[in-house]
Amino acid sequence: WKPKKHLLDIYAEKCEVSLKERRPIIYLNDSDFEEAEKKLNELGIFNSEKFLVLSPETRSKKKMKEWPYDRFLSLIQKIRQNHDLKIITLVSKDNPYNYDGTVCLKGYPLGPSAAMINRANFYLGLDNGLTHIASCFDVKILSIHIGYPVECAGPLSPFATVVSHEPFDPPESISVDEVYKAFQELI
């Protein structure tokens, strides 16, 4: 992590390629968008309704990169008390938690998840794959970045706001109020 460069730039240098864009791109097919729209309609979320996609887990280095579950619950409660928007939580099928106050989709497929993020008004997540996928779209992103330095592994989107402290600080170092304040500024 000493080079203080984003991993994308490090890999591009090592592969001796020049990138036209630093922002990631994901290619989805029509069925991804159709499935996402179908699920949103089932959930009662139609075109004019605002919603947030929440991604509160990481698939690796959980102890280092995951914000505490109870803090997510407090943040969800604050958002719901002060804003009229629905929250869809995307987690793995083996995630043990329920995210009260949200519609929790466990094990929802990646393509439709990406299409749902594309359609969302806001995305809130950790340093994880879905946050980097959200960077592909023109959606307002709030990333709670814990662990690796932001300049090395943060989201590459002009729409991203990052809440972080020093690299490898404990996850508990980031408060609910700090994240909620950033959310307020984002919306």
pLDDT of residue 1: 61
Per-residue model confidence as pLDDT tens digits over 30-46: 999 999 999 999 999 99
2 occurs within a structural domain: no
Q: What is the CATH number of the domain that holds 79?
A: 3.40.50.2000
Query: What is the domain range of residue 52?
Result: 7-186
Q: What is the pTM of this model?
A: 0.95
- As a whole number, mean pLDDT of residues 69-88 equals 98
Render 134-151 in DSSP notation, one character per residue: HTTSS-EEEEEE-SS-HH
Residue 1 resides in a domain: no
Task: Specify the number of domains making up the chain.
Answer: 1
